[in-house]
Structure 1
Amino acid sequence: MSDIQTLDAKAQKALFEANKLAKRLRHHVGDAINDFNMIEQGDRVMVCLSGGKDSFALLDILLGLQKSAPIDFSIVAVNLDQKQPGFPEHVLPEYLTSIGVEYRIVEEDTYSIVKRVIPEGKTTCSLCSRLRRGILYRVADELGATKIALGHHRDDMLHTLFLNMFYGGKLKSMPPKLVSDDGRHMVIRPLAYCREKDLERYAKLREFPIIPCNLCGSQPNLQRQVVKEMVNDWDKRFPGRLESMFRALQNVVPSHLADTGLFDFAGLKTGDAPFADGDTAFDKEEFRDPPLPGDDELADAPRRTISILDSRPKETSCGG
């Protein structure tokens, strides 16, 4: 085989893998949107664009779905310029203009507030997050947005689960969809089924102009970073475990936990009829190894119909 033929074969394989990755992520996002009814007819979706790989991928995939979805919804990208020193202010406006999406750049000096309030060496994430969230809620009102889309993915949800267990004493994660504490805003996470490793590959393939966060990303020994490294180590040593753990978030059995607010343990009585989820302690319990996650995990597997992915009827062109 000649060098040219070898290069052509490699290029074709790379293109095939890239298309398969894009298809898998598109299906993951479509599934999440439909499973949790995230986007409805006439919605105005505000995509929060931080400049990181996840929010870039979220915007890119939603724009692709918007073109073929059987429902009509609009998208507006919003970036909060927190006035971090050295932040490249030109990058996002140039990118968003080049792809033709409506956008708003919001300038708020939260960086100075965080640096003034939080002692040196302490974690800035909690205060930064609260300030950012309040501003984004205000902007959503100004733009008439009905949904606020965030770029958190499956791994973020698992990390949050363990953070709450280890440090907060709660069995709690990031929900794919929730209402804000004031009851006025709907927050959605369309990347809920997406793996971070897939998003990293997608960002490189799409060559997004990534902007690092110098405010929090440079802080050593963050609890979230420690948990992330732990989970990534599990993923390397025990492939398939993360998929199994994520399924556990969707398969909760309150009668086998210990929360009296979720299950009436005090009122539990015996009876003559079979009891759903009753004790099987005297039976042999079997645990099976989870299936290994392959690149063909979703792209080649038979799937149910996904409405957000269904192509809308072709419109007849009127002139040029």
Structure 2
Amino acid sequence: MPKWGKLSYAQKKTVSTVGMLMQKTEMVHDGARIGVAVSGGVDSFVLIKTMLIRQAIIPINIELMVLHVNPGFDPDSHHPLTDWCIENGVPSHIELTNYGPSAHGPENRSKSACFFCSRLRRKRLFELCDQYSLTHLAIGHTADDLVTTFHMNMEQNGRIQGLSANESFFKGKLHMIRPALMLEKKFIKAAARQWELPIWKNNCPSNDATKRSYIYERLQEEWNKNPVTRNNTFNALRRWQLDLNMKKQ
């Protein structure tokens, strides 16, 4: 039996779906140095756990490193992640910032605190990737994020655009990858419970009060009326996004 033990259905689904997308899009290469952005939420925590299993399975050598930028609402919230990384032998860079309070303060003149904070955090993640000579930055976006982003872009911005599984930045020096982009959140939540990951609550005052959460809740209401439309929506957008990424290879 492998060192991670026997996997449940949700865990197998998580590991295999991530592996499928990594393989079909040629997401990583031998010698890749991957920084995994872990916020402490369920998606990113399951991603690093899954990537550790994939690292042991795939026939190439890759390195993994946890990157965590604490937005500053709770200076101690990242301690469970620090302990988990030590216990699992995962290198990490974990730092405390004031991005969250600043985004909700007077220095933010934009309308969206989330945009302000996420822009600062992404900039810092790019800087850390450069500092540690990382070739990839892995983000924990899921199929649910793909569906929501597609509808947001269509309704808010008037364009048809989803989330790329593999994006190139800085003239190819860094690739932002989304290994869990084809995976539904219901499997991620189940796998997280079964792995007993030390996930902590998002204490941002804007949590669940954004345009993204509003659109997702509205979609959920429609899907509850007709569950078939949910499956059709997810399957259609996953095939569309996967086709786009494979054409880029």
Compute the TM-score of the two structures, normalised by the length of structure 1.
0.68
Partner of 1:246: 234
Q: Per the alignment, in what secondary structure is the counterpart of residue 227 of structure 2?
A: coil
One-letter amino acid of the structure 2 residue matched with residue 61 of structure 1: T
One-letter amino acid of the structure 2 residue matched with residue 192 of structure 1: L
Structure 2 matches for 1:38-49, cutoff 5 A? 38-49=27-38
Rounded Cα–Cα distance in structure 2 between residues aligned with 1:248 and 1:89 = 37
Alignment partner of 1:154 out of 132, 138, 143:
143
Rounded Cα–Cα distance in structure 1 between residues aligned with 2:135 and 2:205 = 29
- Report the CA distance between 1:106 and its aligned residue: 2.5
> Does structure 1 residue 232 correspond to structure 2 residue 213?
no
Partner of 2:174: 185
Rounded Cα–Cα distance in structure 2 between residues aligned with 1:234 and 1:55 = 27
- Please say which structure displays the higher CA radius of gyration: 1
Q: How many residues align?
A: 235
- Work out the percentage of aligned pairs sharing the same amino acid: 25
Rounded Cα–Cα distance in structure 1 between residues aligned with 2:108 and 2:213 = 19
Q: Deviations 1:176-220 (Å, cap 9, x if unpaired)?
A: 111236654210000011101111111111121112222255353
Q: Deviations 1:23-48 (Å, cap 9, x if unpaired)?
A: 11111101110111111111011100
Rounded Cα–Cα distance in structure 2 between residues aligned with 1:83 and 1:107 = 6
Rounded Cα–Cα distance in structure 2 between residues aligned with 1:126 and 1:165 = 18
- Report the CA distance between 1:240 and its aligned residue: 4.0
Rounded Cα–Cα distance in structure 2 between residues aligned with 1:176 and 1:23 = 20
- Report the CA distance between 1:119 and its aligned residue: 6.5
Instruction: Specify which structure has the higher proportion of helix.
Output: 2
Is the Cα–Cα contact under 8 Å of residues 78 and 103 in structure 1 kept in the other structure? yes
- Report the CA distance between 1:153 and its aligned residue: 0.3
Rounded Cα–Cα distance in structure 1 between residues aligned with 2:207 and 2:109 = 15
- Report the CA distance between 1:234 and its aligned residue: 3.4
Rounded Cα–Cα distance in structure 2 between residues aligned with 1:104 and 1:204 = 25
Is the Cα–Cα contact under 8 Å of residues 124 and 216 in structure 1 kept in the other structure? no
Compute the TM-score of the two structures, normalised by the length of structure 2.
0.86
